């Protein structure tokens, strides 16, 4: 009886550890961005009156090593006066702190990415080995919101 309980506990422990390692490894590009662009707590706006947001967006991170991370339909993109706010929806936000990408640190260029269609690639000055890829439609929305913020801010 105790042997079965012990084996079950060890098996569950190994499974939980394996899932933790896989989830943490999957967040390596986001973590690299978070070291340079982590959003401070005062800025995290959840209401649309604080900053305009679009939820259920697709954001893809590439570079740094083999593969890519696709956050398809789980990213929330916001536009603030400082820059672009990226967050993931719960429960996917574990190991993925909110990011604030300043406008001045990003270089945007059109990029055809596999079969997605028209996309844009953000290359960031502080983390140049990780690029952010978004749909062209989302980029147009970001640009329009940034323009509106620039016009309305004193």
Check which CATH number belongs to the domain holding 80 and give it.
Answer: 2.30.29.30
- Asked whether the bond before 91 is cis by omega within 30 degrees of 0, the reply is yes
**What is the pLDDT at residue 129?**
87
Q: Does residue 21 sit within a domain? A: no
Q: Does residue 2 sit within a domain? A: no
Q: Does residue 9 sit within a domain? A: no
Q: Does residue 8 sit within a domain? A: no
Total tally of structural domains belonging to the chain: 1
**What is the pLDDT at residue 13?**
84
Distance CA 108, CA 151 (A): 21
Q: Does residue 132 sit within a domain? A: yes
**What is the pLDDT at residue 48?**
45
Distance CA 117, CA 28 (A): 26
Phi and psi angles of residue 133, each rounded to the nearest 5 degrees, phi first: -115, 130
Which residue numbers in the chain have pLDDT < 70?
A: 22-26, 41-50, 64, 115-116, 153-154
Give the tokens for residue 96. 């993925």
Q: Does residue 12 sit within a domain? A: no
Distance CA 70, CA 46 (A): 23
Q: Does residue 5 sit within a domain? A: no
DSSP string covering 16-60, please?
Answer: HHHHHHHHHHHTHHHHHHHHHHBPPGGG---STTTS-EEEEEEEE
Question: What is the domain range of residue 98?
Answer: 28-152
Q: Does residue 14 sit within a domain? A: no
**What is the pLDDT at residue 42?**
57
């Amino acid at each position: 009886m105790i042997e079965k309980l012990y084996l079950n506990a060890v098996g569950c422990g190994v499974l939980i550890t394996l899932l933790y390692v896989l989830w943490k490894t999957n967040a390596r590009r986001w973590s690299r961005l978070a070291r340079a662009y982590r959003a401070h707590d005062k800025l995290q706006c959840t209401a649309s009156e604080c900053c305009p947001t679009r939820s259920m967006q697709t954001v893809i991170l590439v570079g740094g090593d083999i593969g890519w991370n696709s956050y398809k339909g789980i990213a929330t993109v916001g536009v603030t006066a400082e820059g672009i706010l990226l967050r993931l929806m719960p429960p996917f936000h574990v190991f993925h702190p909110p990011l604030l990408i300043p406008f001045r640190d990003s270089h945007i260029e059109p990029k055809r990415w596999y079969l997605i269609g028209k996309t844009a690639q953000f290359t960031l000055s502080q983390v140049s080995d990780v690029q952010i890829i978004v749909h062209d439609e989302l980029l147009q929305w970001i640009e329009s919101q940034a323009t509106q913020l620039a016009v309305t801010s004193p």
